[in-house]
Structure 1
Amino acid sequence: MIPYGRQDIQLADIDAVLEVLHSDFLTQGPMVPRFEQAVADKVGARHALAANSATSALHIACLALGLGECDWLWTTPITFVASANCGLYCGASVDFVDIDPRTYNLCPKALEAKLEQAEQEGRLPKVVVAVHLCGQPCDMAVIHALSQRYGFRIIEDASHAIGGKYRGNYIGSGHYSDITVFSFHPVKIITTAEGGMVLTNDGALASRMNLLRSHGVTRDPELMTHEADGPWYYQQIELGFNYRMTELQAALGVSQLERLDDYVSRRNALAERYDVLLAEFPVTTPWQHSNSYSGRHLYVIRLTLDAISLSHCQVFEALRAYGIGVNLHYIPVHTQPYYKQLGFQPGDFPEAERYYAEAISLPLYPTMSEDQQDQVVAALKAALELS
């Protein structure tokens, strides 16, 4: 089976983890801050804080921005559920903005129209989570301009996008957002096994997220309510969480980060080769905006269903039967049973639902060979009954 994604673990990664295993620190030591600084330096952010998952990172990002009861978080319906759940964790309400039919990201025009209506109704969002689906960044300049007009804060959910660029700057630099979140899950562009990171240029936000990821506990005398009782002393000044990354994960991340640009370059080369090989197929290949350089975490095609004799599900199952580990990213969040209980219904976001009815994620990962890619294309040809 050719998987849709696969981590690349090399000897340097193993050696880095073994070095930590032989050291004095397995949880909190020098490697976590080293990884944080390396990522911050790479993307051009002032502050970076590692977490045990991107979901945890999204949660503390929302809390740091003051999201709570009576507030609204808006995001896209085409994302993993964590992009919306992070708002619910804070007691806020969640709503969605339909997707752009070309990029499949949150649509700026739909966002502007929804903001105009929400302003009249007195229910503007406090936070908008802009998800860079497949690694292609949202139109952040437009979203940022809208944030200045309507007063909301921006989180970039860049779980798919480390190593990508928007308008010449690395995603994560924070030019158009308050906080950016990366994921280091094994199928992502680089991995720490599980793990995530929050990045910001705001020192106050960084300080708050640092507290929240570690039980709300501090040893900083400037943050304490009174002078320390002794050198052992700490205070809990927030209700925080255990969202910390381990030294083992960070060591793997430091090693993987050295190959980030090579990984993203290879993903783009494979994606461009798919574009050529699939040019005559009854599918829509991913459109790329000229002002962006995608991390290419996923390669999503959309079936032209009226031009083929099989259903969406039949094509998917046929590819699996041929040994191609395709997947579907994602089921629209508003159609999930939990969100239906909150009042969402099919038909609420029609562009997202059209996407879901046609989308299939083909295998794409940096160690994928051209022979394997040819197998994927041959299987898709057979599945579409083009042979």
Structure 2
Amino acid sequence: MTEEVGRLVLRDNAQQALAISLEERAGAAALPAQAALMLRLEAAGVLDRSVAGLPDAAALAARIAAGEALTRPGLCALLPLAKLWLTEAIEASDLPDDPGFAPLLTAYFPAELGERFPALIARHRLRRELVATAIANEVANRLGCAGLGRLAAAAVPAAAARAAWLAGALFGLPALADAVDAAPAPAEARFDLLLVLRRLQEEAALGLLAAPQPLAAALAALQPGIAALVAAGEADQAAPEWREAGLPAAAVALAAAAPRLAAAPMILRLAGSAGATPEAAAQSWGAVGADFQIDALRQATAAAPAPGPFGARARAALLADLGAIQARLAAARLAGGAPADAAVAGLVREAAQAGDLAAIGVACHALAGLA
């Protein structure tokens, strides 16, 4: 068992090192979300920047303005603190009591112990703490600090962790990411593919914040629809350099479909409420997105500067509003009554080009008037 314990420990170390490398590769674009996460950690009493050696808010603002990234030592200090914050939030929630997470407790121990003493493990006095730690480690490693910061701006930390876990399970992302990391391919190609899968998990999680409870019920309700949407995009064009690099075909195919699949949870909710097939709902969702430039507006919202303690939450609220508006417009289209308004489409296009949250808010208001 000693060797197995060593492998379990080393695997977590390797996952954290990979998470930091991916965060580092994301570069300056990740710094605003990392800065927002630091504010959350400070408010929770988890982060003392002078102790952690992290820049203060003024220094981070200057780095953001200069297009600079957080250094690797800074990322190494931030990620464990984010895990601590997430672990404490999960422990305080009912998440560790969901039977769907029971395998995490068994997996914490060597396989021989799990086979010999399953009943004792199930009532371990630190059961909740161990499950919370396992969830937090997996979610923080898969999303990274920036992704966790963006997702946690839209929900309380435990709900964000559950949604991220559910997104990973629905798309099979942990196994695919592990296969990519182990592939005999250049690091640059592996990291780029892993970043696409990481973003898919984050964006899909946004649509899963209100997914059914418990975890098993959510998986049973959503897996058939997710599978149908994944299968519908088998012709998506993957980056040829990934195939040529020898990366796993399944991961490459999912990454190629990621822009379309990020909205899959919202599309499935639309299909259920409209009584439509997942494929028909996806077609309607995409059509209204193209007609009203909603995808461009969503990208502009994600990239717009959002300074201050409430900036990240304001961005998250706008993204949620855009999803709800697109769903209503798509439902109207499915019912045969989709509105057409060239003036609103033009306003949305201008707001996306302006790239600031004020303009985007005006465009959202105009779209909401149609829905």
Q: TM-score range by the shorter chain?
A: under 0.3
TM-score, normalization by structure 2: 0.26
Structure with bigger helix share is 2
Please state which structure has a larger fraction of its residues in strand. 1
Greater relative CO, 1 or 2 (CA 8 Å, sep 6+): 1
Superposition TM-score, scaled by structure 1 size: 0.25
